[in-house]
Amino acid sequence: MDTLNSAGLGARRNEDIALDLMKFVAGTAGVGKPATPSTGFVGPAAVKPEEHVNQLLDLYARCLNAVQGEGVAKEAAP
């Protein structure tokens, strides 16, 4: 029980925060969802499930980097 009290119940791990951020972004932007065709527009070819998984894993890695404060590596301006 002592470890539970000293753990700080309000504290969250970076991985948990990154997962919540990924869920929010994926749900808002529709990442990992198949494109739905609409009238008059031809959508891209069907995306394989493996590609959806790769998109979500890439998004999680970006979210984790953002939470840890690492951010995205910036290219030097010419």
| The pLDDT value given to residue 5 | 46
Tokens 């951020």 map to which residue?
A: 21
| The pLDDT value given to residue 28 | 87
- In this predicted model, what pLDDT tens digit does every residue of 21-53 receive, in sequence order? 999 998 888 776 666 666 666 666 666 888 888
Helix ranges (DSSP H) in the chain: 2-6, 14-29, 49-67
Could you give phi then psi for residue 11, rounded to 5 degrees? -80, 140
- What is the pTM for the complete model shown? 0.61
DSSP 25-46: HHHHHTTTSPPPP-TT-PPPPP
